Every structure is written in structure tokens, then in C-alpha cells.
Amino acid sequence: MKVYNNFSLKYFNTFGLNYTCETFIEVEYAEEIYSINKKYNLSQKKFLVLGEGSNILFTKDFDGIVLHPSFNNFTVEQEDSEHIYIKIEAGKNWDEFVRYTVEKNIGGIENLISIPGLVGAAPIQNIGAYGQEIKDTISFVHFFDFEKNVFRVYDNRQCSFGYRDSIFKNRLKNKIFITSIELKLDKNPKPVLDYYDVKNELMKNGIKNPTIKDISNIISKIRENKLPSPRMIGNAGSFFKNPIIDKNKFEALKRIYSNIPFFYLNENKVKIPAAWLIEKIGYKGKVNGNVATYHKQPLVLINLGNASGNEILDFANEIKNEILNQFDIDLELEVNVV
């Protein structure tokens, strides 16, 4: 492990905000967590596990310990005629691993291409895009429990996955350190083509029987066109969750807004795009001081260069209030505020 004091987190959050932490520990091997916990007694201290910071908003300096995983190997644990089971360490870049599986024609996560962040963060948020979620392929999550001072393993069911949600984001928040995940992937890929944008691009390119490489290329280009690169413009991707509302509320909205986009989750619940709501209140491309909504995708809040974390949060709350007043829908933040 490597330990640094009064460490800048500017390059460990994709908003590019220059806040600091008291102590920054680079964890080079999963096994080090045990000795780190013994030395720092983390169950009694303020700490934060931080990867690339692609889903976090700092609003002040962090007066505690930041743990950053840099161990990033992956191994094939077993395979059969249909599936391959791969264990990936927490510090592996997620997009790099997705691209590896696509090149090997291993299916199951190809639609999750170009999502920033490290593997360890994927199950916490139950990352998802274009009809796939990480919960669909996770077999096990390995983690260290700071309170019990032991390494533990949860199977998929124990993770209590939900929409952009898991037990690691709720009951076990700030109590554990994910060290690796195991995925059950397909040797015979079954493309997921639920989204209009993907189908439309396939049609435009004359692709009738798409491979997962075709799909991942298309999704990567769609994301590139819609979302700004954090390397160029400070942002944390989608700032809000797409709201899920009951059928009666949806039908009432549809009577007023006949063109409202939607997706039925079941007979009683409907998901609608937060981006559509934000655009409807006139906030697409809106600038507010040093913060703005991205002109191509209003779900993304961007740092125009000199924003503070509180400026970004105030702007997000302004959007939430406008949508609550106009639609009676309470948007939830997807980004974690610290």
C-alpha cells in the first residue's frame, strides 16, 4: 500500500473538483485491506472507497481516509459449453474489461460499454444501459467487512439489486470494501436490442444479424455523441435517475403530454426519461454561473471550469424543484454527494 497525507482528489473525481482528503491510501493488493483495517480501525473512522470518482460529487474537503483500489487482474474461474465465469478485481477499468469480452465474443455486458469507472463500483450502483444491467450477469461479489474484520462473499440474491441500487449502496454503505466480482457470461451471445436508438442505427447501417461487436460499436458511438468526455468537460454522467411512477400518474401525464416517452416495467410501474422532464422545463443547455446542463443531453450536469461542488448541487436542486412543481415527480440523484 501507498499512503499520502493532505492529498488532492482533483484527478479522482470526474467533475475535476479540487478538494482534498486527510489521508489517501492506494490499496495495491486485496489482502492489504485486513492490515489497513487493523492499523486504522476503519469501522470507527470516517472513510471512503474511491475508484475513478465517476459517480461522485464532492462539496467540501473530505476529513477522513480515502481508499483507492489499484489491483486489477482478472481470471477465468471455470467454463462449460455455454458459459464462462470470470473473476475481476476491483481496480480494473470497467470499459477496458467490457472491450476485452467483446473482442473475445463473450456476451452479457456489451451494452455496458463506455461506462466510466472501476469494476468495484459496478455492483454498488447496479450499472445499466441499453437494456442490460450488471445484476443480470453477477454471480458473486467479494468484499471486506470492516465491522466484522473479515472477507465475505455474497451471491446475486444477497446483493438485493434494484434499479441503480444494491445492498452495498444502502445497508452496507460505508461498511465494506469490494475486492472483486464474478460474472457469468455467455459463450453464445444473445444480443439485447430493446432500445430504439440501437435498432435505428443497425437499420441505417444495413446490419440485420448484429454481432455483439456491432452493438457495442453502435452504443459506444451513441454515448460519444450524447455524452461529454470527462477528460474534456467535468461531469459525472447521468446526474439523476430516470423516475419510476405508478400507472395512474403516468396516464394522467400522458393525457397532457401525448408524446411522453415511457417504458413499462410491469403492469403497475412505468419508467420515464429524466432527460425529457428536464428538457420540458426548459433546462436543456441552460447555463447557471459555472454550471450547465449539457446541450446534447440535459441529464448531464457539467462543470464549465470553475464550479464548486455546492454550485453544482444547488443547480441540481433547482432542477429537482422545477420538475416537482410542474410534474409532481421527485427526481432522485444518481450521483453520490459527499
CB neighbour burial string for 56-72, b if at least 16 within 10 angstroms, e if fewer: bbbbeebebbbbbbbbb
Residue 166 falls in the annotated catalytic set: no
> Which residue in the list 54, 114, 216, 238 is annotated as catalytic?
238
Element (H, E) at 235: strand 234-238
CA distance 151 to 155: 14
Rounded alpha-carbon distances, angstroms, from residue 219 to 136, 165, 192, 201, 233: 18, 23, 12, 9, 20
Residue 334 falls in the annotated catalytic set: yes
> Which residue in the list 32, 322, 332, 334 is annotated as catalytic?
334
66 phi and psi angles, rounded to 5 deg? -105, 130
> Which residue in the list 52, 164, 182, 216 is annotated as catalytic?
164
Residue 99 falls in the annotated catalytic set: no
Contact yes or no for 50/56 (Cβ under 8 A): yes
- Sign of CA pseudo-dihedral 244, 245, 251, 255: negative
**Amino acid (one-letter) located at 134:** I
List, as one string, the DSSP characters of 54-102.
TTEE--S-EEEEEEEE----EEEEEE-SSEEEEEEETTSBHHHHHHHHH
Residues annotated catalytic, as ranges: 164, 238, 334
